[in-house]
Amino acid sequence: MFLKRIIKDELAFISLFFPRKKGISILMYHSVAHNNVFFTVKPEIFEKQMQYLKNHNYNVIKLSDLINLLESDKELPKKTVILTFDDGFEDNYSNVFFILKKHNFPATIFLITGLVNEEMNNSQNIMNLN
C-alpha cells in the first residue's frame, strides 16, 4: 500500500525526469483532496509539486499558449509544462485555485458539462463533483 501511494503521488511528475529533445510536458490531474481514490493527489503533495516547478524554473503556460506556439513555428521553450484537470471536481477550486494563484501558474480545467450542478460518484463512491 505504501509503494502504491508513493507511485500514485509522483505519477504526474515522471515525465519531467525524462526530458525529450523537443516537446512540452502536460501534467494531467483529476482531483486534489484528502481521500484514497487512486487519481486523487493530496493538497500538500500538489503544493510540493508546484513548488518543485517554481524552484526548478519550469515555464508553466496555458494550453492556448501551446497552440499559439505550434501555429507560429517558434521553438518550444525548454522546461515548459502545461497543467490540466479533468472532470472539473469542486476541489479544483477549493484546493487547487489558491495554490496555482500563489505560484502564478495557469491551468486548464476540462468540465463534464452534462454534470454541472450534479453529483458524480468516483471509484470509491465519494461524491465530490458539484
* Residue-range definition of the domain harbouring residue 30: 2-115
User: Over the stretch 30-75, which tens digit does the pLDDT of each residue have?
Assistant: 999 998 888 899 999 999 999 999 999 999 999 999 888 888 878 8
Higher-pLDDT residue of 38, 106: 106
Question: Residue type at 129?
Answer: L
Q: Establish if 105 belongs to a structural domain.
A: yes
82: left (phi over 0), alpha (psi -120 to 50) or beta: beta
Q: Establish if 91 belongs to a structural domain.
A: yes
Q: Establish if 99 belongs to a structural domain.
A: yes
Q: Establish if 120 belongs to a structural domain.
A: no
The domain tally of the chain equals 1
Predicted TM-score (pTM) of the model is 0.77
- Say if CB 46 and CB 99 are below 8 A apart: yes
Q: Establish if 80 belongs to a structural domain.
A: yes
Cell numbers given for 50: 508546484
- Say if CB 89 and CB 111 are below 8 A apart: no
Q: Establish if 57 belongs to a structural domain.
A: yes
What CATH code is carried by the domain that includes residue 71?
A: 3.20.20.370
Residue 130: the pLDDT is: 44
User: Over the stretch 108-128, which tens digit does the pLDDT of each residue have?
Assistant: 999 887 766 767 655 444 444
Q: Establish if 127 belongs to a structural domain.
A: no
In angstroms, the CA 82 to CA 111 distance is: 17
Higher-pLDDT residue of 82, 18: 82
User: 41: burial class by Cβ within 10 Å (0-12, 13-18, 19+)?
Assistant: buried
CB neighbours of residue 117 within 10 Å: 6
